[in-house]
A and B are shown apart, each in its own frame.
Chain A
């Protein structure tokens, strides 16, 4: 394309890293614009981190604050760990998008505003007093404002096409994307390829979207308003081949990879729920891997069907978010009692109850660790980044299959929808997984389904094997035989045996390792889950500033790594940042009798690294 080879006619300024936030109505195609620009930068070689943020309503009332959808991208020529605290550039399609996001813009930052979205109606809907237009009343004087009539320019570019006005206006996002590509000296090639595929059967839409994309690019080139372009050089990423991956994709691929490495078919029982449904969408594409996706009638059937599949000898998986996990609770107890492999993914969202379906939170940790009747300890592990979702999903399956237990994997909406470049592994680098199958009776002629090995793990006898017929159930069972038993002493022994088996899972963990910082000192930040990027960024900065601060990030929430207790003793203070009121803090205090302090944010939004840094400095004061 002509745009790809066009030489920059305007001066180019270098930037180390840029945070850009696209915002508009939830029907404006903001998520697509953002993800396309992300992919273009990743392909160019930047490190990237993204944060899509959208309303729970599919089409919230147009022009209102409630309907604003956002996509934040942080890309750079340096290592990037978060989607960025404050934006350098804010692209807004209407008044509401500006009002909702202006606070996130750095002082002196750039605003690119679609003037058509600032008419009287939009100003009123956004709640600007007396319909005062911020684009003209001087209130944005601290920033660099570029007003562009995107609607008009897009319509002009599409004159002569057969499309109706509504369809033409739907191409606005491509005009914006073309313009941003110009501004950051990126070509349109990736998006052109994407459009060709997406609209292969709709040539008129392909034509219109391509025209809008090119028009946006050319507008940057020719318009007098824009005098400078920016250049963000590739990041010094480790050598290798990369792809982009979201957390939910990572989880899905980790599950498939683990099923492949264990030689099992994967059965995924699931009921649609935000923000976990993308795992179902992803897995349903991979039926040729022996992946069965079962959209169950409810959350209870989703987990129960997965238990049935595991009983049959497949890898049973279910996923949901907090409210759905609540419904699965009784069946979780059954899976624990049966001692069958099962993986339960909780893509956490804001709670309680329906809570904030599209916002993120880490408030289901107690639910995961404690949320069952009776004493039913289930291993709980947590992913910290989109890539880590792959690794932890794989590990969840390893633990489930090799220790014959349900395993809960916690991720959250922030990393589930966020994306980052992934130097994906080769299948041969992934370990083989070996469940404790049994083919012959294990007690003379008899088969004892609950005869445990040295790790406390029972054998897995699949239906269909002669001589191994046995009955299992949720009722308390006699040691070894699995027959129903109400014997008091047997019950106490079984409760202890099951707990011991789960406790021994900690034997397989690698030694605990600091993410950064000194081996002892003033303060240890103990993080878990999706706060990783913000904590890492803050910790590195604090260390550069000379503070004695270290960072450890937990992946094993239950049972804890055995090295955690000794590690905690090496620091004067322990600070635990969490997107909840202090759930890990309470677990750590209870387990290690240590005076851990909390840094807590419960706003449905991730921490910024500045918030973490400020919190640490606050605790470092004598």
Chain B
């Protein structure tokens, strides 16, 4: 059961600002969704390896060779705010 507190904690971790009514709504919806997932807990998965990659691909590397970089102008082309060749952000704390 997901409480409002959990929703608030998860929203904070997700950096999502939620309104009061949204918190209640998400709590409801997430509980409904998680209910349907309860069935998973009944499956015996002892000895079953978690499958993170479907294809047996391994050891994909690149050589340590320098390639092209963006120009500073290109880097900052989509920047919401910039200063001195860098991305400007508001104060951290």
Q: Are chains A and B native binding partners rather than an unrelated pairing?
A: no
Residue ranges of B at the interface with A (Cβ–Cβ < 8 Å): none
Q: Which residues of A pack against B, CB within 8 Å? A: none
